[in-house]
């Protein structure tokens, strides 16, 4: 394996590890946002109220419903993204040097192209995946959204005033939190293989999310490095990543809402196109319906991206240093 390829793999491993760590830290916010997205106009409450209801009905574990599928999904998505992003970035930098440019830093257009070619999501998360990776990872995120939303019908509370009991979709006896395997089986029974690709169109549209995020991040990083005359630190990356994700998520949020609703749409529900879904939500719920759960989602997305960039840089430096020390020790031993 060449040194350039090894470096790409290191970046991919660091990106996957950073994604997992940031996902675990911010997952309760993903749960709150996802449930707000799919519950339509039925859920009008504060984040604190929603958190309290989930804990009362399901315990603390309710805030982490679907975490295992999310961790698997983010590790796969981020590994693919960072490998191809570093490969694309290096190719553009070499081309810039061959063209006689004095600096190999990416321009805005080159940063956008590198993000598009990478075909993955640098943050997360359940927000989006690129055109190449989305077909592979979409089934993972469908399962995750179902588990996170815990699509269950609530029965009326008893005369004693107890909280509603969560039931399975068929209205049978109260059901415990679904496992990954049971969710996969239910999806397959509901609509076959095609059910795992619900929401794939808005997911493809959302490829613009990581492109915007990384373009903003790279350009701000270039400005900071020119002014400070040094490489960015993990702390710098934290704040630059947060700003990039804030802008990207705010601009693309309606498609995130539509994707989540398509993921949880049942067998008997009418299948709508992206534009039909947009029109239907605006018609029934107003423009605010497209932004359900945007508060916790913005906080989660910004924190996830910020932690991701910080963790990735730290993990990359740690891994690269450990490998360099190991190679040096091996050479000394061989000598």
Residue 333, domain member (yes or no)? no
- Class of residue 133 by CB neighbours under 10 A (exposed 0-12, middle 13-18, buried 19+): buried
In 3-state terms, what secondary structure has residue 153? strand
Is the Cα torsion angle 127, 130, 133, 138 positive or negative in sign? Answer: positive
Backbone angles phi, psi at 52, to 5 degrees: -65, -40
pLDDT tens figures, 101-138: 766 666 667 766 766 666 544 444 434 445 667 777 88
Per-residue b/e over 47-77, b at no fewer than 16 CB within 10 Å?
eeebbebbeeebeeebbbbbbebbbbbbbbb
Enter the pTM of the model. Answer: 0.66
Element at 166 (helix H, strand E):
strand 166-167
Half-sphere exposure of 68 (CA within 13 A, CB side): 7
pLDDT tens figures, 41-95: 555 566 778 788 888 888 888 889 889 888 988 888 888 888 887 887 788 777 7
Query: Which of 266, 133, 287 is CA-nearest to residue 203?
Result: 133
pLDDT tens figures, 4-15: 778 888 888 998
Residue 31, domain member (yes or no)? yes
Residue 163, domain member (yes or no)? no
Indicate which CATH number applies to the domain containing 102: 1.50.40.10
Residue 160, domain member (yes or no)? no
Please tell me the distance from the alpha carbon of residue 75 to that of residue 135, in angstroms, as a whole number: 16
Is the Cα torsion angle 180, 122, 208, 299 positive or negative in sign? Answer: positive
Residue 124, domain member (yes or no)? yes
The one-character DSSP state at 154 is E
What is the span of the domain harbouring residue 146?
A: 3-153+180-327
Residue 92, domain member (yes or no)? yes
The one-character DSSP state at 178 is P
Please tell me the distance from the alpha carbon of residue 25 to that of residue 96, in angstroms, as a whole number: 39
Indicate the number of domains in the chain. 1
Please tell me the distance from the alpha carbon of residue 72 to that of residue 140, in angstroms, as a whole number: 8
Contact, 259 vs 206, CB < 8 A?
yes
Residue 271, domain member (yes or no)? yes
| Gap between the terminal Cα atoms of the chain | 23
Residue 335, domain member (yes or no)? no
Residue 175 has a pLDDT of: 46
């Amino acid at each position: 394996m060449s040194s350039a390829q090894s470096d790409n793999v290191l970046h991919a491993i660091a990106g996957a590890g950073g994604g997992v760590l940031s996902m675990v830290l911010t997952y309760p916010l993903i749960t709150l946002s996802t449930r707000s997205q799919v519950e339509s106009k039925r859920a009008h409450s504060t984040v604190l109220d929603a958190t309290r209801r989930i804990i009362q009905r399901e315990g603390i574990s309710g805030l982490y419903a679907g975490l295992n599928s999310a961790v698997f999904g983010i590790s796969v998505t981020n590994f693919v993204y960072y490998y191809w992003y570093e490969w694309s970035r290096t190719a553009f930098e070499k081309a810039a040097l061959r063209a006689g440019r004095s600096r190999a830093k990416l321009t805005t257009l080159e940063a956008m192209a590198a993000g598009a070619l990478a075909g993955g999501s640098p943050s997360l998360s359940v927000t989006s995946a690129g055109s190449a990776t989305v077909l592979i990872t979409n089934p993972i995120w469908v399962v995750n959204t179902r588990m996170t939303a815990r699509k269950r019908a609530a029965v009326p509370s008893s005369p004693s005033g107890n909280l509603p009991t969560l039931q399975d979709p068929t209205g049978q006896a109260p059901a415990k939190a679904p496992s990954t395997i049971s969710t996969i089986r239910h999806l397959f029974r509901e609509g076959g293989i095609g059910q795992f690709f619900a929401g794939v169109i808005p997911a493809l549209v959302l490829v613009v999310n990581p492109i915007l995020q990384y373009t903003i991040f790279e350009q701000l990083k270039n400005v900071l490095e020119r002014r400070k005359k040094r490489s960015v630190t993990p702390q710098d990356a934290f704040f630059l990543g947060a700003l990039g994700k804030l802008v990207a998520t705010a601009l693309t949020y309606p498609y995130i809402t539509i994707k989540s609703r398509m993921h949880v749409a049942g067998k008997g529900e009418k299948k709508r196109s992206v534009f039909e879904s947009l029109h239907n939500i605006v018609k029934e719920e107003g423009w605010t319906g497209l932004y359900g759960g945007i508060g916790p989602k913005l906080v989660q997305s910004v924190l996830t991206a910020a932690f991701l960039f910080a963790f990735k840089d730290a993990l990359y430096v740690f891994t690269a240093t450990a490998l360099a020390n190991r190679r040096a020790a091996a050479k000394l031993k061989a000598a």
